[in-house]
Amino acid sequence: MTQRILGISSTLIFLLSSTLSFSVPAIPADGSFTATTACPAYVSKNKKTNPDNAKITTGTTYPVIEVNTANDPEWYRLRVNEANPPERWIDVKCGTPKVATTENSSNSGTTTTGSTGESGGKGSDCTTAGLADGYVFAVSWQSAFCETHRSKPECNSATSQSWSANNFTLHGLWPNLAKCGIDYGFCSPQPKQTAFCNYPSLPLSPSVSKSLGQVMPSAAAGSCLQLHEWYKHGTCQKEWTADGYFEIAIDLARQFNESGISSFVDKHIGKKVMTQDFLNEIDRDLGTGAHERMKLTCQGGDLVDIYMNLPATIPATPKLAELLPQGKTGFNSTCGDSFHVDAVGYQR
Note down pLDDT in tens along the chain; length 348 residues: 545 444 444 444 444 444 433 334 577 777 788 888 889 999 888 888 898 888 988 878 888 878 888 777 889 988 887 777 778 999 998 988 887 654 333 333 333 333 333 333 456 899 999 999 999 999 999 999 999 898 999 999 999 999 999 999 999 999 999 898 878 999 999 999 989 999 999 999 999 999 999 999 999 999 999 999 999 999 999 999 999 999 999 999 999 999 999 999 999 999 999 999 999 999 999 999 999 999 999 998 999 999 999 999 999 999 999 999 999 999 999 999 999 999 999 886
DSSP state of 258: I
Q: Are 298 and 60 in contact (CB under 8 A)?
A: yes
Query: How far from chain centre, in Å, is Cα 173?
Result: 14
Beta-carbon-side half-sphere exposure of residue 198 (alpha carbons within 13 Å)? 7
pLDDT at 100: 64
Whether the upstream peptide bond of residue 28 has omega within 30° of 0, thus cis, is: no
DSSP string, 90-127: EEGGGEEEEEEE-SSSS-TT-B---TTS------GGGG
First to last CA, the chain: 59
pLDDT at 34: 87
Q: What pLDDT is stored for residue 168 in this prediction?
A: 98
Rounded to 5 degrees, φ, ψ at 91 are -65, 140
Contact 237, 191 (CB under 8 A): no
What distance in Å separates the CA atoms of residue 124 and residue 269, rounded to the nearest whole number?
45
> What's residue 29's pLDDT?
76
Contact 42, 89 (CB under 8 A): yes
Residue 123: the pLDDT is: 64
8 A C-beta contact, residue 32 and residue 62 = yes
3-state class (DSSP) for residue 54: coil
Q: Is the dihedral of CA 177, 180, 181, 182 positive or negative?
A: negative
